[in-house]
């Protein structure tokens, strides 16, 4: 059942504190504060390169993973959409690791990319939610997301648990390669353990986000989402979520790209969602908010208390999320973005769990 919620999507959004905790517990030792991955069929210390491959929302988890692995594990990471990768005959580094992210484990393009990578002699690692799926069976190793069945077509808890697995993979590889000192490892793992309780706090903003959705997003024809660093894939995810369930046209942009074109779209009719956790890019994002507002745009800002303090006079709306280590911000900022899409769609009266033209698993290309 829907656990008292109106839609599976709402139930699944609200399950996130629990399933994030479950996924983390499988890999995290709370006393030693260390991450332990299952035995992997490759040596994490010597993997020369990673290729991250998936479709849709799973690909956006992979993009966050790329940013994390480059920064904290010092490994070069290529990122690709499975539907592009599989037909390009990409050149692959010998002994490389290929990571396939999939909720269903049955996505045709992701599976075809996995088979190609096997032929190319890559170690193939699946991050999969359905343990009996084809991708789980054909990969050399699997790191499971313990999200439980996801029924709503729009991916929510699968996405955040994919992020948790990628965060653990980042810490484990960073450690194995000597890229993380002990102090940083403890800081990153400590930040991860706080995520379930912080996620529960974020869910308290549900009512407020519903009000913003009804007032500002339901009437909109176009919406922009902006972010930098790991908030850039979150901007893409926010736009994807909104368009697939509310049918409002939305685009995610790297905030620094605004003046290369999309700023021409801004006027008083365009809500601009800004994902701005306190991190080393906050000030840069803040100046993009200024540019948006100067052109009449309606900025809706997701930030922590410090960020809200800095931007509340400029923005139309602000939501103050808990202050967290920037490492885990993408996991937490996924939640308001999901709630915003959900409430906009509910208010518009669309079929939230079964949006038109979409299937839960895309088993044909």
- Catalytic site residues? 360
Q: Least distance from C-beta 341 to ligand F6R, angstroms?
A: 9
Judge contact between 66 and 92, C-beta under 8 A: no
The residues in 32-71 that bind ligand F6R, with binding defined as CB under 6 A, are 55-58
Q: Is 155 in the site for ligand F6R (CB under 6 A)?
A: yes
Q: Is 104 in the site for ligand F6R (CB under 6 A)?
A: yes
List alpha helices for the chain, DSSP H.
8-14, 16-25, 56-68, 82-88, 108-119, 134-138, 157-176, 182-193, 195-203, 206-212, 231-246, 282-294, 305-311, 329-348
Q: Which of 16, 83, 110, 288 binds ligand F6R (CB under 6 A)?
A: 110
Kindly provide the b/e burial profile for residues 264-300, where b requires at least 16 CB atoms within 10 angstroms of the residue's own CB: ebbeeebbbbbbbbbbebbeebbebbeebbebebbbb
Q: Is 103 in the site for ligand F6R (CB under 6 A)?
A: yes
Judge contact between 277 and 230, C-beta under 8 A: no
The C-alpha atoms of residue 19 and residue 162 are separated, in whole angstroms, by 11
In this complex, which beta carbon is closest to ligand F6R, that of residue 209 or of residue 281?
209
Q: Is 244 in the site for ligand F6R (CB under 6 A)?
A: yes
Q: Is 143 in the site for ligand F6R (CB under 6 A)?
A: no
Stretch touching ligand F6R by CB under 6 A, among 103-111, 136-144, 208-216, 284-292? 103-111
In this complex, which beta carbon is closest to ligand F6R, that of residue 154 or of residue 168?
154
Q: Least distance from C-beta 41 to ligand F6R, angstroms?
A: 22
Judge contact between 307 and 285, C-beta under 8 A: no
Q: Is 279 in the site for ligand F6R (CB under 6 A)?
A: no
Chain residues that interact with ligand F6R, rule: CB under 6 A: 55-58, 102-104, 107, 110, 154-155, 240, 244, 361-362
């Amino acid at each position: 059942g829907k656990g008292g919620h109106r839609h599976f999507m709402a139930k699944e959004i609200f399950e996130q504190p629990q399933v994030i905790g479950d996924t983390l517990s499988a890999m995290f030792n709370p006393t030693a504060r260390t991450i332990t991955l299952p035995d992997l069929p490759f040596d994490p210390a010597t993997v020369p390169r990673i290729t991250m491959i998936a479709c849709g929302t799973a690909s956006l988890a992979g993009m966050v993973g790329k940013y994390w692995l480059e920064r904290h594990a010092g490994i070069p990471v290529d990122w690709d959409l499975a539907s592009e990768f599989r037909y390009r005959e990409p050149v692959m580094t010998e002994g490389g690791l290929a990571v396939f992210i999939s909720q269903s484990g049955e996505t045709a393009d992701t599976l075809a990319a996995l088979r190609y990578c096997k032929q190319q002699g890559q170690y193939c690692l699946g991050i999969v939610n359905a343990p009996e799926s084809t991708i789980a069976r054909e990969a050399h190793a699997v790191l499971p997301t313990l999200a439980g069945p996801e029924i709503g077509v729009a991916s929510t808890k699968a996405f955040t648990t994919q992020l948790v697995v990628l965060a653990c993979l980042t810490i484990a590889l960073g450690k194995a390669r000597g890229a993380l000192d002990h102090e940083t490892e403890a800081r990153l793992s400590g930040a991860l353990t706080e995520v379930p309780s912080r996620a529960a706090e974020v869910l308290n903003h549900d009512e407020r986000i519903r009000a913003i959705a009804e007032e500002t997003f339901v009437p909109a024809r176009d919406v922009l989402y902006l972010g930098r660093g790991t908030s850039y894939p979150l901007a893409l995810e926010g736009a994807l979520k909104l368009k697939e369930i509310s049918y409002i046209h939305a685009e995610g942009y790297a905030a620094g790209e605004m003046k290369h074109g999309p700023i021409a779209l801004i006027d008083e009719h365009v809500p601009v969602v800004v994902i701005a956790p306190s991190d080393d890019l906050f000030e840069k994002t803040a100046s993009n908010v200024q540019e948006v507002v100067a052109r009449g745009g309606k900025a809706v800002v997701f930030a922590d208390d410090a960020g809200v303090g800095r931007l509340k006079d400029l923005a139309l709306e602000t939501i103050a999320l808990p202050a967290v280590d920037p490492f885990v911000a993408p996991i937490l900022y996924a939640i308001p973005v999901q709630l915003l899409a959900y409430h906009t769609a509910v208010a518009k009266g669309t079929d939230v769990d079964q949006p038109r033209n979409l299937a839960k698993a895309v088993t044909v290309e």
